[in-house]
Amino acid sequence: MPGKTADERAALDAQNEIMLARFVEAGFRHIAPSILQPADLFLDRSGEDIRTRTFVFTDPAGRELCLRPDLTLPTCRYHLERAERPDAEARYCYCGPAFRYQPGGADRMHPQEFVQVGVEWFAAGDREACEADVLALAIGAVEAAGLRGYRVRLGDLALFNALIDSIPMPARWRARLKHQFWRPKAFRALMERLAGQIGETHDPAEPLLESIDGHGLERAEAVVEEVLEQEGIPLVGGRSVTEIATRLHERASDRREAPLTAAQIALVEQYLAIDGAPAEALGAMRSLGADGSEAFSLAVESLARRFALAGERGLPCADYRFSAEFGRNLEYYTGTVFQIEVKAATGWVPVAGGGRYDGLMGGIGSPVSVPAVGCAIHTERLRAAVEDGNG
């Protein structure tokens, strides 16, 4: 994209000021996080989609930096550096540039440099109420900017995690399933392996697994070191002997575990197939949870309260759509997620989105747990949508 004319910049600035003013009026403090950020934080915490689209470079001192691809993580860093206590309630809003490489080429809906307006709310007391507030703030902001033709998609990763936790299986299997939630093909393949549905194939590591099976991790490390030395194989990809041995030890242990049953697989598939209006989705989940765990039932009722609170804030939740598979493309989300989308030539495109990310602060250095929820608006895309007739 060649840039903007003065009139185009003025129109975008005016739109963004309208939305930012609403956030400030709602009690969020306007801050300006740094544009340059440590690259490893984004590459480790933001998920595959962002990793492959982040502009990364090395400064003269040899430090790996990046142009921020969004403002959530920079706001978390700002809070950790400035707040007297990380777990003290704080509300921030921002308006500033973000940068993402566009592999298909930049255009009006997919610029490489764009402005984000958003809010981040840390350590709020009432989880469902602040989530309903953030959803209402995001929708109110885009409507104040002139958006009319849009749809809202909803999801909740806490429900998926609670369901997986309710199924008897080794803890390492649960961790793998949760890790693959954002990768549908890999998730399906993993489910088939855990259910013993993949046919017997020759495994080159079978002799190693046999020698490790039934022994502790120390034995696995000794076997790996011996093989590497005998074969003259160098360590590659930054993986240590301990990491390789741990994975082999897990694979050897997996062979002695009972596979997931057909009923357990069906339960997960029934949950992931839930897709419809909130009332329909709640009914389907309550049916699933009738014989399930207390944690899953509590997560369902938490979602129901969130819908009720959103309705009290004037949002037409009956018109929204809940999808159990919807988790957006940022892997730091841990609970409710939402996306505001508009119809474009290439299909439905998000102009805003957000959700709960309770684990992110701890992942970047907070010594205490800090619950968090927020949203971000892609202002260039919003402007284009309004100009294209969605206003």
| DSSP string for residues in 355-369 | EE-TTHHHHTT-SS-
- Measured CA to CA, the distance from residue 229 to residue 104 in angstroms comes to 45
Alpha helices, DSSP H, located in the chain: 6-25, 39-45, 48-51, 72-82, 127-144, 157-166, 171-179, 184-194, 206-212, 217-231, 241-254, 262-272, 278-288, 294-312, 360-363, 379-385
Amino acid identity for residue 16 in this structure = N
Mean pLDDT of the chain: 88
For 238-288, the pLDDT digits (tens) are 567 677 766 666 676 677 788 999 999 999 999 999 999 999 999 999 998
**pLDDT value at 196 more than 90:** no
- Average pLDDT value for residue range 209-222: 64
Predicted pLDDT at 193: 87
Residue 12 CB neighbours (<10 A) = 17
Q: What percent of the chain has pLDDT over 90?
A: 68
Q: 11 and 147: one domain? A: yes
d(CA 99, CA 329): 16
Using CA atoms, how far residue 272 sits from 155, 230, 292, 315, 324, in Å, is 11, 47, 16, 25, 5
Say if residue 45 is in the same domain as residue 129: yes
Of 255, 276, 296, the last residue of a domain is: 255
Binding site members for L-histidine: 70-72, 100, 116, 120, 328, 332-333
Better pLDDT: 239 or 25: 25
**DSSP bridge pairs for 352:** 340, 377
Q: Are 75 and 59 in contact, with CB atoms under 8 Å apart?
A: no
Per mean pLDDT, which range of 77-91, 189-203, 306-320 is the poorest?
189-203
Same domain, 42 and 132: yes
**Same-domain status, 97 and 223:** no
| Over residues 287-308, mean pLDDT | 87
Give yes or no for a contact between 103 and 281, defined as CB atoms under 8 angstroms apart: no
The answer to whether residue 304 sits within a structural domain is no
Domain boundary among 195, 221, 255: 255
Q: What is the pTM of this model?
A: 0.87
Q: Quick one: 135 and 18 in the same domain?
A: yes
Question: Residue 294 — pLDDT band, cuts 50, 70, 90?
Answer: confident
User: Rounded to whole angstroms, how far apart are CA atoms 347 and 364?
Assistant: 35
Paired tokens of 269 = 């598939």
With a pLDDT cut of 70, the percent of the chain lying above it is 83
328 located within any domain = no
Query: Average pLDDT for residues 146-173, to the nearest whole number?
Result: 94
Please determine, for residue 62, whether its predicted confidence score (pLDDT) is greater than 90.
yes
pLDDT over 70 (residue 47): no
How far apart, in whole angstroms, are the C-alpha atoms of residue 176 and residue 188? 12
Number of domains in the chain: 2
For the record, the structure tokens of 136 come out as: 């209402």
Ramachandran angles phi, psi of 213, nearest 5°: -55, 130
* Segment 312-322 mean pLDDT: 97
How much is the pLDDT for 199?
Answer: 46
The CATH number of the domain where 358 resides is what?
3.30.930.10
Tokens of 328: 């957006």
> Of 86, 77, 89, 67, whose CA–CA distance to 31 is shortest?
77
Residue 217 belongs to domain spanning: 205-255
Q: What are the tens digits of pLDDT across the range 347-389?
A: 899 999 999 999 999 999 999 999 999 999 999 999 999 998 8
**CA torsion angle 243 249 255 258 (round to 10):** -90
Q: Which pLDDT band, with edges at 50, 70 and 90, does 200 fall under?
A: very low
**Rounded to 5°, angle at Cα 32 from 26 and 98:** 105
Binding-site positions read 70-72, 100, 116, 120, 328, 332-333
Q: DSSP secondary structure string, 324-335?
A: TT---S-TT--S
Taking alpha carbons only, the member of 330, 337, 322 closest to residue 373 is 337
Mean pLDDT to the nearest integer, 203-227: 64
CA 337 to chain centre: 8
Mean predicted confidence (pLDDT) in 205-217 = 63
Residues 144 and 243 in one domain: no
Kindly state whether residues 52 and 147 are assigned to the same domain: yes
Asked if the model's pLDDT at residue 33 lies above 90, the reply is: yes
12 and 144 share one domain: yes
How far apart are the C-alpha atoms of 183 and 216, rounded to whole Å? Answer: 31
Instruction: Give phi and psi for 63, each to the nearest 5.
Output: -80, 140
